């Protein structure tokens, strides 16, 4: 195993543990760029809008559902797939979110949950939420479908 691959696996494990620890606590608030609450994600993976209506969910196996229970994607080890199984994006260990063509979509700060677009303009905040869930919400808009 190469050192680069070992570092990647270690980063994935650290991010996964951080995500597990974050989801063990109460619901985490999703915020817009002005720090206004726009929703919540609870420890069971249920996503709610600002009116507390369920708009989707994340299953333990990585399946992502919209508000109607329809599967809209899948997460596997920081890679995000559409319903046809095509990789539409992934998250680097440093929090960089990329599309399926490796173009930068934005960034998620592992330290404070700040979410920025490719030009580093703040688009939201999601402290204590798993980075793959943040990416699905802010960059891949799974719950708008």
pLDDT score for 24:
42
Q: pLDDT by residue (tens digit) across 64-98? A: 999 999 999 999 999 999 999 999 999 999 999 99
Is pLDDT at 20 greater than 60 in this prediction?
no
pLDDT score for 13:
59
Is pLDDT at 145 greater than 70 in this prediction?
no
Q: pLDDT by residue (tens digit) across 100-137? A: 999 999 999 988 999 999 999 999 999 989 999 999 99
pLDDT score for 25:
46
Q: Is the pTM of this model over 0.75?
A: yes
pLDDT score for 27:
79
Is pLDDT at 22 greater than 50 in this prediction?
no
Q: Which residues of 85-121 are buried (b: 16+ CB within 10 A; e: fewer)?
A: eeebbbbbbebebbbeeeeebbbbbeeebbbbbeeee
């Amino acid at each position: 195993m190469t050192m680069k691959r070992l570092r990647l696996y270690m980063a994935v494990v650290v991010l996964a543990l951080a995500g597990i620890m974050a989801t063990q606590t109460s619901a985490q608030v999703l915020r817009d760029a002005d720090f206004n609450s726009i929703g919540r994600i609870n420890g069971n993976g249920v996503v709610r809008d600002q009116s507390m209506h369920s708009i989707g969910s994340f299953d333990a196996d990585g399946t992502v559902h919209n508000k109607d229970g329809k599967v809209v994607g899948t997460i596997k080890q920081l890679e995000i797939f559409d319903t046809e199984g095509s990789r539409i994006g992934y998250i680097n260990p440093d929090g960089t979110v990329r599309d399926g063509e490796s173009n930068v979509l934005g960034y998620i700060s592992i330290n404070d949950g700040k979410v920025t677009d490719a030009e580093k303009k703040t688009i939201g905040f999601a402290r204590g939420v798993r980075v793959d869930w943040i990416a699905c919400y802010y960059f891949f808009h799974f719950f708008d479908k």
